[in-house]
Structure 1
Amino acid sequence: MNAKRTMLVIDDQHGIRMLMHKTFTEMGFNVLLAENGRKGITLFTEASPDIVLLDIKFPGGLDGIETLQELMTLNPRAKVIMMTSYEDHYEECMALGAVDYLEKPFDLEDLKERVERYSASGVQ
């Protein structure tokens, strides 16, 4: 079994994707990037990532809520951390199966701790 953990980042903001790629690659993750929900679902299906960081708002196409629903349909045990500037979706995301919810702007060290906890411990 490959010991390298895989992370999928689904966010329409290029800067966020690049920051997540740099940060989590340095932590030993294989980081996959998607700029929208459709591409994210495709990568999720192909790679079965250990953890997903998912934004809520995307221009056009699927939004983060719809993407979360699809990911949870594909794998109800998926570990998805929602990242958003909108606090009004917390209850809906958690009810749909997200393991955590962070509001942007978030503290990078806090995110790293949460990712480590969910990806390493088997927390559902």
Structure 2
Amino acid sequence: MNATRSMLICDDEEELAHELGEYFASLGWHVALAITAEEAIAQLRGGLAPQVLITDLRIGAVDGRQVVAEARALPPALCPALVIIITGHVMHNVTAADLDSDFLYVKPVDPTEVLDDIGSFLAGVAPPPA
């Protein structure tokens, strides 16, 4: 993966958000963090254009589904190429597609598995503009 890759991580579990952020940053990713859905939405509306959005599903009054909806509504140049939802709640018979995301993980999240899935997914997507 090259250093131009970017992501927004939104999770109200600050320790997890920071750990994931540090992991991806150590691999050359540009990482933005948000601890609330409102903060993530504000960053997206403010012009942040991450290639990858990782959001917790249940993060307060405004949840991850709203973060995903806001991201998906952005103009194509700003819309994340990949949306990942993570949750601490087991959701029987719910798929990533049901939540308008590309991947769905149940916590605890294995960052190497996430990285592998991101790499495979982005390999089929055009590189970001310079």
SS of structure 1 residue aligned to 2:9: strand
Indicate whether 1:66 and 2:66 are aligned.
Answer: yes
Indicate whether 1:108 and 2:130 are aligned.
Answer: no
Indicate whether 1:81 and 2:87 are aligned.
Answer: no
- Aligned-partner Cα distance in 2 for 1:82–1:43: 18
- Aligned-partner Cα distance in 2 for 1:108–1:101: 13
Contact 1:83 1:104 in 2 (8 A): yes
Partner of 2:50: 49
- Aligned-partner Cα distance in 2 for 1:44–1:54: 13
TM-score, normalisation: structure 1 = 0.82
- Determine what percentage of the aligned residue pairs are the same residue: 24
Q: CA deviation at 1:42?
A: 1.8
Partner of 1:30: 30
SS of structure 2 residue aligned to 1:110: helix
Number of residue pairs matched?
120
Classify 1:56/1:50 alpha carbon distance in 2 versus 1 (closer, same or farther; 3 Å).
same
Instruction: Point out 4+ residue stretches in structure 1 off by more than 6 angstroms.
Output: none
Partner of 1:6: 6
Between stretches 72-81 and 3-12, larger displacement belongs to 72-81
SS of structure 1 residue aligned to 2:85: strand
- Aligned-partner Cα distance in 1 for 2:120–2:38: 27
- Aligned-partner Cα distance in 2 for 1:35–1:119: 25
- Aligned-partner Cα distance in 1 for 2:15–2:120: 24
Unaligned runs of 5+ in 2: none
